[in-house]
Amino acid sequence: MVDASDGNTSHNSVSDTASDLVNMTHASPDALAAYYDKWATSYEKDLLAMGYRAPAEAAKLIRQHGIATNNPILDAGCGTGLTGLELSNQGYSHITGIDISPESLKQAKTKGCYQTLKIQNMNQQLDFADDSFAAAQCIGALTYVDNIEGLMREFSRLVQAGGIIVFSHRVDLYDGKFANTLQALGDDGTWSLIDHSPPRPYIPDHADFGDEKTIHYDIYRVH
């Protein structure tokens, strides 16, 4: 899954569905699922054609921060499985993927890298027991989350103490309210910040993103 655009793409090698991304920023869960269901078969081709490399970068971060490859990982907003595939390329084999799009999950299943795949709405409580994972990642999906604090507390509930949470967020959307929400979880002892990256490329060959729309990667340690 990738964050919604605020414009349209003119890249001639991508599908019309990719160009409609602008309309999904404030979509309802049903509309969002339908959109990504429609895009599922060409999603990876479109994104890779536009230079999307966030899944690989996130997987490297999880490996670099000491999460053993035999530990369970939650891949939230996994889409068609690009994120899980990159985790697998780093040696991880116990990966659970969740997404709101059933058709995307069908594509993810074909990757052969997920132990479990579930339809989940990240605006609601996630259907896993406490301390189920050593790490969680959420790459390119926070635009669609209405309750950021609720989701981050869910990730913190699901990740074992000492584990990490990795997520990306667009720099232009990383405003004071978003930062204050994250800080509140640090203030109450839920987690601590390990790293906040400088702006990184997001979808560099997308007409609306290019060098102007970049992302931060944040890494938090769960207490």
CA distance linking residue 153 with residue 24, whole number of Å: 25
The pLDDT assigned to 3 comes to 59
Q: Residue for token digits 């269901």? A: 37
Range list of β-strands (E), the chain = 73-76, 95-99, 116-119, 133-138, 159-170, 191-196, 200-201, 214-222
Q: Backbone dihedral region of 61: left (phi > 0), alpha (psi from -120 to 50 degrees) or beta? A: alpha
CA distance linking residue 73 with residue 1, whole number of Å: 17
**Looking at the chain, how many residues does it have?**
223
Question: Counting Cβ atoms within 10 Å, is residue 13 exposed (0-12), middle (13-18) or buried (19+)?
Answer: exposed
The pLDDT assigned to 18 comes to 55
CA 136 from centre of chain: 9
- Which residues on neighbouring strands pair with residue 217, listed in sequence order? 168
Task: Look up the pTM and report it.
Answer: 0.87
Q: Residue for token digits 């699922």? A: 33
Q: What is the pLDDT along the chain (223 residues), one digit of tens a residue?
A: 665 444 344 444 445 555 555 556 667 778 777 877 787 777 787 887 888 899 999 999 999 999 999 999 999 999 999 999 999 999 999 999 999 999 899 999 999 999 999 999 999 999 999 999 999 999 999 988 999 999 999 999 999 999 999 999 999 999 999 999 999 999 999 999 999 999 999 877 766 665 668 999 999 999 9
